[in-house]
Amino acid sequence: MSLRQTLLATPDFATVVELVPWAGELDDARGQRPLKMAVDLAGDPRITALSITDNAGGHVRLGPVAPAEPVIELGHDVIVHVACRDRNRSGLQSRGWDLLSRGLTTVLAVSGDYPVEGFDGLSKPVFDVDSVGLLALYRELGEAAVARAAADGVPDPAEHAFFLGCAVANVKRFERELIPQYLKLALKVRSGAGFVISQVGYDARKQDELLRLMRRDGIAIPAIANAYILDRGVARAFHAGRVPGCVVSDKLLALVEQRAAGPDKGRAFFLEFAAKQLVVARGLGYRGIYLSGHRDASEISRVLEYAEAFAEADWHDLVADVTFPLPGSFHLFERDPATGLNSDVVSTAYRRSLEPAARRRARAGVDPFYRVNRMVHDRVFTEGTPGFRFWGSVYGRVERAHLAKPLHVFEQAVKVPLYDCRDCGDCSLPDLAYLCPESHCAKNQRNGPCGGSQDGRCEVGERPCVWAEAYRRLKPYGEELTMLERPPILQDNALRRTSAWANTFLGRDHFAKQKGPRS
């Protein structure tokens, strides 16, 4: 039974195992390792699907399509990862048609980690679109495939659509980086995501929080929990922040170091730990587990055997064993002392921060520059205002007189020093509280944050996450929870090196394509 059928048509708990292709050809001895694992897992009824990564961690590896076909021939269902890092939207569209043509319809759509290597130097990342734009694109491709299949009289034409998955980074320390993750999850679902996989983390309370948030907000798609099998090296890397978005607390690292000093280097403990994560995830209500970090198929089998043994006990008794929060972590819900998880009551401190009086106090500390930006935007750049109509008529006359270049030069003289503008022509300053995504975000994320931040800092260089900063600017005005309540933004590169002001006033930028009010 496929992952799609398991999640959508049965109450069964899915087990997904990650395969990471090697750097080289499929026939290379090292390239055969993932295939050997697929062979060893073939016929195991406990395995629902194998998930094949796309240059995970920004490392250059064999793509997922080449190993996917022999894996399917072994009888496995497959999730193919598609990252936005290495292809522009045309390349992603071509890849989508390729996947549909091969029957590889279960896709995990991700923005992708920033490159860390490349031929004769570091690769230049693309990030023409992000995971939200990719979901919107593949949903459209899938709908076209269904329409063609139906017209051809193919049985079950819906099976020809993509079954699209997304990721959510739900283990974050600060409110300003966590809440935007949840807002982006909702946008991903509206854009076509049919299931979600949580990012690597070792905090059962955070896993519980995600499900409670989804139930509260009506995000009705299956959720799969992530369990990365630790060892000393991996735990140290996660703890040091060397793997984007993956975190290990001081307390968990100390436990890992203690166990790794044993005769088996802690391997039995680490496999039991993953099994406990599985059992707790199933008890919480997750529809599956995503297992990664394994060395071979025997370790997957041992994890599942441990999980079967633990299943005889009350899963609540295992919660404390897999709960290692980051100190000072923000939690959306109040803690339930009886379970060590969450209640359905929203955090008192967070709820108070949303009260009008608290917002008024917070506005007193808002950056004066941002205040001016808001004032100008409301009077000049908001459609329907006298200022917008006036400047629309000015730019219309200027363009008809072929005098647009001097105004464009003036625009850049203003925007470059104030915003570090990159002259994209399809400006998203209003979408990010007047922070430029091209200069302030290494991945040019225009539809919410990627999952790579740690403690509010970008995974690339020492800079704050632009979306965390946008959240902080918007919250005093009560606009932080609606900042992604809009259609996906796909930047129009035809407008690059043209006047963004002219494109706004004359209805050529992404705002003109959006239905409903501007953000």
Residue 514 clears pLDDT 90, i.e. is over it? no
Q: Provide the pLDDT for residue 518.
A: 36
Pair 21, 136 in one domain: yes
For 77, the token pair is 């269902």
Q: What CATH number has the domain bearing residue 62?
A: 3.20.20.220
pLDDT in tens, 462-471: 799 999 999 9
Pair 365, 220 in one domain: no
Q: Provide the pLDDT for residue 517.
A: 39
Residue 333 clears pLDDT 60, i.e. is over it? yes
Pair 281, 360 in one domain: no
Among 241, 265, 294, which residue terminates a domain? 294
Pair 286, 366 in one domain: no
Which pLDDT band holds residue 312 (cuts at 50, 70, 90)?
A: confident
Among 262, 294, 326, which residue terminates a domain? 294
In a domain, 299, yes or no: no
Which pLDDT band holds residue 513 (cuts at 50, 70, 90)?
A: confident
In a domain, 344, yes or no: no
In a domain, 323, yes or no: no
Residue 15 clears pLDDT 50, i.e. is over it? yes
In a domain, 341, yes or no: no
Pair 199, 113 in one domain: yes
Rounded mean pLDDT of the chain?
Answer: 96
Work out the burial of residue 403: count CB atoms within 10 Å of its CB; fewer than 13 is exposed, 13-18 middle, 19 or more buried: exposed
Share of the chain above pLDDT 70, in %: 99
Residue 319 clears pLDDT 90, i.e. is over it? yes
Which pLDDT band holds residue 30 (cuts at 50, 70, 90)?
A: confident
Query: Residue 366 is which amino acid?
Result: V
- Nearest Cα to Cα of residue 230 among 264, 199, 271: 271
- Looking at the structure of the chain, the number of domains it has is 2
Close Cβ partners of 423 (under 8 Å, ≥ 6 residues apart): 412, 496, 497, 500
pLDDT in tens, 189-218: 999 999 999 999 999 999 999 999 999 999
For 166, the token pair is 């997304």
* Residue 103, Ramachandran bin (φ over 0: left; ψ between -120 and 50: alpha; else beta): left
Gap between the Cα atoms of 248 and 230, Å rounded? 10
Which pLDDT band holds residue 403 (cuts at 50, 70, 90)?
A: confident
Pair 364, 277 in one domain: no
* Pairing mode of beta strands 77-83, 288-292: unpaired
Pair 281, 409 in one domain: no
Q: Is there a contact between 437 and 444 (Cβ–Cβ < 8 Å)?
A: yes
Pair 505, 419 in one domain: yes
Pair 280, 394 in one domain: no
Q: Provide the pLDDT for residue 519.
A: 33
Radius of gyration of the chain from its Cα atoms, rounded to whole angstroms: 24
In a domain, 129, yes or no: yes
Pair 290, 392 in one domain: no
Average pLDDT over residues 274-299: 97
In a domain, 313, yes or no: no
Gap between the Cα atoms of 356 and 369, Å rounded? 23
Pair 277, 377 in one domain: no
- Nearest Cα to Cα of residue 241 among 456, 484, 476: 456
* Pairing mode of beta strands 106-110, 77-83: parallel
Pair 286, 387 in one domain: no
pLDDT in tens, 218-263: 999 999 999 999 999 999 999 999 999 999 999 999 999 999 999 9
Gap between the Cα atoms of 265 and 133, Å rounded? 43
Q: Which structural domain, as residue segments, surrounds residue 473?
A: 356-513
In a domain, 338, yes or no: no
In a domain, 92, yes or no: yes
Gap between the Cα atoms of 70 and 102, Å rounded? 12
Which pLDDT band holds residue 351 (cuts at 50, 70, 90)?
A: very high
Which pLDDT band holds residue 516 (cuts at 50, 70, 90)?
A: very low
